[in-house]
Structure 1
Amino acid sequence: MSSKTHIAQALLARAHSPDTAETLFTERIKQKPLYLRPTSPTPADNRSRRRLHRLRKKEYFIRHQKPKPLSAREKRESGVYKLLKEECKYEIFKGLNQMWVAYMLEILDLGPGGGGWRVQQQQQQQQEKRQENGQEKPRKLVSALAHGSKLVSADFHGAEMEVVRSRCPGRVGLKGIVVRDTKFTFVVVTEKDEMKTIPKEQTVFRFCVPLPDTKGAAEKPSSEEDGEGDEESRNLVFELHGSQFQNRPVDRANKKFKWRNVDYL
């Protein structure tokens, strides 16, 4: 029986000599491995490739993204805003009150080196001259038109607040240093080391900002009454209406306030 000649061998025999054709057929065609695979991937392969790409992309973004902020519920459960009883001491927060006073003097431009500081020195000299001549006192340094927008945008953590008017008579007279300023409440620590939560609604608060001593050394008063009057004259006294102040410190920083009528209690 004669085996059928391979078509490639017949074509090579026409173009080359018998020995060359046999060598080419053996090395280039007969002994060359033939890899059998599908010409295109199957739908299952495409699906697995897409799934692998999706998982790698998700892993990359999870590895490089910022930590997710805690929700309000998670913050309450973790106790981020809780103050320990042993830390709620009035003496501890006195330092915070001193820092807040310096912060308020800077806002009102009354700190050392500010324009208000120089004006204060000049007006104090004028006041002394006018008192000697029996004339009236000069105008005030701080006005609602010039400093009102700065005061409503200020941060009151560390301020010493006192309730002067309220719809609830039991709140009147409460005084302490603000340790937490929320949207609807002030949390203060009193001199008795008690933490009180005072709602802002229908409540008027009073806080004082002591003026810096322009002379460098304060003269001691001869009597207690003169000392009290001198101390009051060196303090800027402000009243804050809580019903118009129901927003967080973060929101107050960039908020534009409008003039409006205030319902007095």
Structure 2
Amino acid sequence: QHHFGAGLVDTPSDFGKLGNRPSHPELLDWLATEWVKHGWSLKWLHREILKTRAWRQSSRATSDDPDWNRRMEVDPGNHLNSRQRRMRLDGESLRDAMLAAAGQLNLKMGGPGVRPPLPPEVSAMLLKNQWPVTSDSSENHRRSLYLFARRNLRYPLFDVFDRPDANQSCAQRHVSTTAPQALTLMNDGFVHEMASELAMEEDTKAGDMGAKVTDLYLRTLGRVPTPEEESVAKDFLEGASLDDFCLALLNLSEFIYLD
């Protein structure tokens, strides 16, 4: 479900008689059997899924894929995983991706949860000691898995990107595309901080503006820019700061969505 956007059984809260049948029952049985054989290892299970050709497919048609049209005809609803689904990063993954791109991600494992600073408009409404900010700033840049979760105080960045209510069980997250999400990515203090850190680190490197643009594309999108993109970026940077360019990269659909 997390790797493909939908599980082999698309009713994750009901595996009984009232739930839907699995799309690939033989595969489900094989995975269950092999999982037990490998000592119930989740690491093995994730690796086995991520090594498959099905997971490595694209959600977009490419010139070197002659079977695309046929697969669209046979499986228009993609119930057979004939192609990958276009998936938006959840709030936690998006925060981690920004930290990683800016070179700020703390990969320390284990330990108690951390409480990063909240937006001023949120912290101003809190009671004393309701959210004691972790004093070590490097701890605040740990992976989102370690952010302290309070049921009555939802972290704003996660909340706007559909983090479920912790007061209720949730078998599958709702995924939305809303105006507040775009406004958050353009105006949130954390996003601006990561854009500034990314620009600051790039400023310390030698090279012309073309080299900087290429490096920033690699760090945020994992690819080099096309000649047209590089030209547009250089024109943009003639009248704007590197911070603004980094902020624009962090707001691209290509950064926010997995294709």
TM-score of the superposition, structure 1-length normalised?
0.20
Structure showing greater relative contact order (alpha-carbon pairs closer than 8 Å, 6 or more residues apart) = 2
TM-score of the superposition, structure 2-length normalised?
0.21
